Structure 1
Amino acid sequence: MNSTVQVITWQGLALAFVPTLIVLAIMWRWTAGVGTGIYATFRMLAQLLLIGYVLVYIFETGRPSVVLAVLGFMLVVSSWISIRPLQGKSRRLYRNAFLSISLSGVLTLALVSQSVIGIEPWFNPRYLIPLAGMIFAGAMTTVSLAGERAYAEASRGVSYTEARRIAMQAALIPMVNSLLAVGLVSLPGMMTGQILSGVSPVVAAKYQIVVMSMLFGVTGMSAAMFLYLEKTELRKKAKSPQ
C-alpha cells in the first residue's frame, strides 16, 4: 500500500476549526459557557502543539532515562486528575490512585510493549510513550468513575460489597461500549491513523485488537485495585451515610 502520509498544511489546520467556531457561536448565543469552550479549545491547541515538539526531542534523544522520566510524569499527573471528582481529596486517595494506575498500567505496558509487540530497543519512545498514554489515560478515567460512584453509593448507606459491584459496572460502561461498537460504529483513532498513513487495514486491525484488549484489562484492574484499597474508607462511609 502507499505509505505516503498526507501532510496537513497550516491553512488546512485552520479550516479544521470551522465546526469548532460554529459550536462556540451557538454557545455564545445560548449563553452556555462560551468562555469555557474557548479556553478549552486554546488549551488543547497549545498542549498538542507543545507535545508535538517535545516528542520530537524525546524521539531524537535515544536516552532511556528521558523516556522513563516522561512515563513517571504521566503517572503522577494522571493519578492527580483521577481523584479530581472525589470529595475530600487526601494523601490517601492520591496514594491509592497512584498505586492502582501505576501497578496495573506498568504491568500492562510491559506485557504489550515487550512481549506482544516486542519493541527494539525496549525503551523505544515511538511505541512506549503513545502506548503508555493510552494505558494511563484509560486507567485514570476508570479510577475516577469507580471512585465517584462507589462513594456516592456508600453515602447512601449501601454496603461495601454492593457499592463495589455498582461502581465496577459503572466504571466499565465506556470501555464495554467501545468493545461493542469498534468496527461497527467507529474506527478507533489508532487504527484510523495507521490506515491514513498507508498501513494495511489488516495490520491496523491487529494493532487495534491489542489496544482494545490492553485497555479493557488495565481499566478493569485499576478500578478493582482502587476499590479494594479504599475498602476501609468505603465501609466507614456506609456506616455513617450523609
Structure 2
Amino acid sequence: MTLAPIELEQLAIAFIPALLVVVLMWRWQLNYRKALYGMARMLTQLLLIGYVLIYIFQADSSPIVMAVLAVMLIASSWIALGSIETRRSSMLGASFTAVLLGAGSMLLLISQGVLQLDPWYEPRYLIPLAGMLFAHAMNNVSLAAERYFAELANGNSNEDAARIAFQAALIPVVNSLFAVGLVSLPGMMTGQILSGVSPFIAARYQIMVMCMLFGSSGLTTAMFLYLIRRRQSLSRISGG
C-alpha cells in the first residue's frame, strides 16, 4: 500500500479543530495570539523544511549534513532554556554540552552501531533520528532546569534539587515506556505501518527508538544537572 498525497483542500480540514481550540482560548481570555503564532510558525517551518530536505537528500554531502546537525544542536540547546529566561545566556554552555554528549552519543550509537548506515551520513536516516533525539533532549533540559531552580528557591540543597529535577524530567519518557503499544502507537511505527511495512519490523524499529530516547533523555538530563550543580557550587564558593 502506498500513501496517497494529501491535497491542500484536504489538509485544510485538519485545521478546523485547531482553530476551534483557538476560539476557545479567546473566549476564556487566554493567550490565543501565541497559539495562532505557533500554528503559523509550524506551518511555515514544515513547508520550508520540506524543500530543504529535498535539497539535502539530493546533495548527498556529509559537510551539508553536519552543518544541518550543528544548527539543530545549537537551536535545541537555546530553546531548551526558555524556562529560565533570566539565566539563559549563562546556562547555554551547559545545555549545549549536555545535548551534544547525551543526544549526540546516542545518535552515533544508533546510526553506526544499530543501523550501520552506508554512507555513515545517510541524511534520510541521520537527520530524522537527530531531530527526535535533539527534541527530546531539549524538553528534558527545559524540565530539569525549571524544576532544579524552583527547588533551590524552595530552600532545597543542590543535591536534593538535582535529584528531584532528574526524576521530574524523566517522567514523560518513563510514562511513554508504559504506554507504547498499549495506549499509543508512536510516530515511527505508525508511519511505517501506514507505508506498508510489516508490523513486526515496525515494532523492532520502535523498540530501537524507545531505547534511544530513554537513554538520551537520562544521559542529557544527568549531564546538564551535573554541569549546573557544579556551576552553582563554584558560584557559592567564589561568592563566599
State the TM-score, normalized to the length of structure 2.
Answer: 0.94
Gaps of 5+ in 1: none
1:16-71 C-alpha deviation (Å, 9 max, x unpaired):
11111221222233332222221111111111111111101111001100000000
Quick check: 2:81–2:88 contact (8 Å CA) kept in 1? Answer: no
AA matched with 1:21: L
Gaps of 5+ in 2: none
Alpha-carbon distance between aligned partners in 1 of 2:236 and 2:212, rounded to the nearest angstrom: 33
- Which residue is equivalent to 1:106? 104
AA matched with 2:14: A
Number of aligned residues: 237
Quick check: 1:147–1:167 contact (8 Å CA) kept in 2? Answer: yes
Alpha-carbon distance between aligned partners in 2 of 1:36 and 1:89, rounded to the nearest angstrom: 23
1:8 to 6, 9, 30: 6
| Structure 1 residue 87 displacement after superposition | 4.4
Alignment partner of 1:70 is 2:68: yes
Which secondary structure does the structure 2 equivalent of 1:11 belong to? Answer: helix
Alpha-carbon distance between aligned partners in 1 of 2:30 and 2:146, rounded to the nearest angstrom: 25
Q: State the superposition RMSD in angstroms.
A: 1.7
AA matched with 2:201: V
AA matched with 2:63: S
Quick check: 1:159–1:238 contact (8 Å CA) kept in 2? Answer: no
- Which residue is equivalent to 1:23? 21
Alpha-carbon distance between aligned partners in 1 of 2:7 and 2:161, rounded to the nearest angstrom: 50
* Aligned residue runs from structure 1 range 119-158, under 5 A: 119-158=117-156
Alpha-carbon distance between aligned partners in 2 of 1:47 and 1:230, rounded to the nearest angstrom: 32
Distance 1:157-1:30 versus aligned 2 partners, 3 A rule: closer
Alpha-carbon distance between aligned partners in 2 of 1:221 and 1:188, rounded to the nearest angstrom: 22
1:158-205 C-alpha deviation (Å, 9 max, x unpaired):
112211110110000000011110111111111111111111111111
Alpha-carbon distance between aligned partners in 2 of 1:144 and 1:31, rounded to the nearest angstrom: 27
Q: Give the percent of matched residue pairs that are identical in Structure 1 and Structure 2.
A: 53
- Which residue is equivalent to 2:188? 190
Structure with more helix by fraction: 2
AA matched with 1:86: I
1:102-124 C-alpha deviation (Å, 9 max, x unpaired):
01121110110111011111111
2:173 to 172, 175, 183: 175
Alpha-carbon distance between aligned partners in 2 of 1:234 and 1:152, rounded to the nearest angstrom: 14
Quick check: 1:83–1:144 contact (8 Å CA) kept in 2? Answer: yes
Which secondary structure does the structure 1 equivalent of 2:82 belong to? Answer: coil
Distance 1:236-1:49 versus aligned 2 partners, 3 A rule: same
AA matched with 2:49: I
| Structure 1 residue 236 displacement after superposition | 7.0
Quick check: 1:191–1:207 contact (8 Å CA) kept in 2? Answer: yes
1:195-216 C-alpha deviation (Å, 9 max, x unpaired):
1111111111111110110000
Alpha-carbon distance between aligned partners in 1 of 2:167 and 2:88, rounded to the nearest angstrom: 25
Q: Which moved more, 1:184-193 or 1:64-73?
A: 184-193
Alpha-carbon distance between aligned partners in 1 of 2:86 and 2:31, rounded to the nearest angstrom: 27
| Structure 1 residue 154 displacement after superposition | 1.3
